[in-house]
Amino acid sequence: MNKNSFLRLFIFILLLIAILFIIRSPFTILFNWTELQKLNTKDGAYINIANILSNTSGPVIALFAALLTFFAFWVQIEANNQQKEQFKKQQDDTHIERIENKFFQLMSFHRDNVGDVEYSRYYETLGTKSGRKAFTNIYYEFEEIYSLIKPFFLNCNIDEVYMNDYKLEIQKMSKIQNRDFNPIHLSHIDIAYLILYFGVGKKGTKYIITFYANRYKKEFLELVLNHVSLKPQFVKKDTSTNDNKRLEAANKNWERYLELSFYEQKKILVNAMKGSHNRHPTIEHFRQVHSFHNGNQTILGHYYRHLFQTVNFINTDKKLKYPQKYDYIKSLRAQISSYEQMLFFINSLSQLGRNWELEYRPIDSMNMLANINYNENNQLITKYNLIKNIPSNNVIDEIQATHYYPNVAYEVFSDEKIFIQRNELIKSYT
């Protein structure tokens, strides 16, 4: 019963008691008329009437007073409850204000981070780009790396690529939550992104081989990395004559290397890894010039760490409800261009970005195959439709976004079935 209903009921009871009392008084006197007739004096009659009314109305008045006392207590309780509600609302408003101040500050940092990006690769036509345009060129570089290493993954057996334990983990990952991706395709994207991120200079190559040797076969990984490392930088106008001569010779040898069949290229790489004296000129020039793909860690590392911090800040808040959280993240997503979202999709498939969603967070961190604990509320890309605006399902070649994130409501290519599935999924979000 709400407050207004209770108040109406209480007033009705008081009125009912008053009416009953008024109706009862004449009858009380009438029923005691015999006693009144025995009195000889007018004053005695009045006194007796007063006594009769006093004796009969006393309980009624006592009940009336008790009800008024109860009403006073009830009013006090309601006032206390209202004060608590106002205090809670004030706390909630303060919390929302704090959340918004922090979130929009993080949004401002994100815009500053994007604005500060400068990407310089010696493309003959693209040159140096800054801001959002830089992410377009970074995506182009990824496409080039992906295409460059593609022959290694064609007609490839999964056991040639993955270490056994990691292979089992990836196979399980590929079939949960309506996913349906090819583990070979995932390794192709992952290794290409690692090259984009760390580069294939001496330090980058060593880092990738050292830290990912328990996931990929070392020989396979070394072949792929050495293949990409052979591509030299373009000839630069502001360098010395000797440097330009070495770069020109290296680029000519690289072009000849690309004309060879993949079998011949692989043979050259294997011989070089074995230290054979019969090496291709490209291998010799590799020792004299820098590789073209020397990494983008300073750009991408900072960008995605901050982006994750911003989304996770909203997602982990205990007081905000899901629709409120979604609206905040929607504002952030509106700041991310289509190329940024495509690059973000690729990052999320790599080992550097799978904490967004793809890779579960095991309870037992020492055993990646035990205690699988998939929590829909930690699947951030699907929960907030973070890649909703990518323009095509085929992000690159045969890689389709829906194979990895089937429950995202894509703006361009989702069907009605996805929206029905999301309506059910949303019920589990907090």
Residue 19, C-beta contacts closer than 8 angstroms, at least 6 positions apart: none
Range of lowest pLDDT (6-10, 199-203, 414-418): 6-10
- More confident site: 130 or 224: 224
Q: What is the pLDDT of residues 41-83, one digit of tens each?
A: 444 544 555 555 555 556 656 666 666 676 677 677 777 777 7
- What is the CA angle 185-188-190, rounded to 5? 110
| Average pLDDT score over residue span 144-160 | 92
Segment 14-43 shows an average pLDDT of 55
| Residues 367 and 166: beta-carbon distance below 8 Å | no
What's the confidence (pLDDT) of residue 19?
Answer: 66
Q: Is the pLDDT of residue 125 over 60?
A: no
* For helices 132-148 and 338-349, angle between their N-to-C axes, nearest 10 degrees: 40
* pLDDT score at 231: 83
Sort strands 128-130 and 118-120 into parallel, antiparallel or unpaired: antiparallel
Whether residue 387 has pLDDT greater than 70: yes
What are the beta bridge partners of residue 396? 399
- Phi and psi angles of residue 396, each rounded to the nearest 5 degrees, phi first: -155, 125
pLDDT of the residue at 426:
87
| 3-state SS class at 118 | strand
Distance CA 228, CA 36 (A): 122
* DSSP assignment letter at 234: P
- Where are the domains positioned within the chain? 3-89, 129-286, 297-426
Place of tokens 């000797």: 242
> Token pair for residue 1?
């019963």
Alpha carbon distances (Å) from 152 to 148, 203, 274, 380: 9, 23, 19, 32
d(CA 119, CA 131): 9
Burial class (CB in 10 A: 0-12, 13-18, 19+), 173: buried
In tens, the pLDDT along 82-111 reads 777 766 666 666 888 888 899 999 999 999
**Using CA atoms, how far apart are residues 357 and 178, in angstroms rounded to an integer?**
13
Residue 162 main-chain phi, psi, to 5 deg? -95, 145
pTM of the model: 0.76
Rg of the chain over Cα atoms, rounded to whole angstroms, equals: 39
Closest C-alpha to 253, from 224, 226, 285 = 285
Model confidence at 372: pLDDT above 50: no
- Is the four-CA dihedral 173, 176, 177, 181 of positive or negative sign? positive
**String of DSSP letters for 247-306:** HHHHHHHHHHHHHS-HHHHHHHHHHHHTT-SS--HHHHHHTTS-BS----HHHHHHHHHH
Task: Name the residue with higher pLDDT: 253 or 237.
Answer: 253
Q: Which helix (H) or strand (E) holds 100?
A: helix 42-116
**What are the backbone dihedrals phi and psi of residue 417, each rounded to the nearest 5 degrees, phi first?**
-60, -40
SS3 358: coil
Q: Residue 408: is its pLDDT beyond 70?
A: yes
Separation CA 222–CA 217 (nearest Å): 9
pLDDT in tens, 25-36: 555 555 554 555
Residue 181 in tokens? 């991706």
> Closest Cα partner for 112 from 139, 138, 95, 131?
131
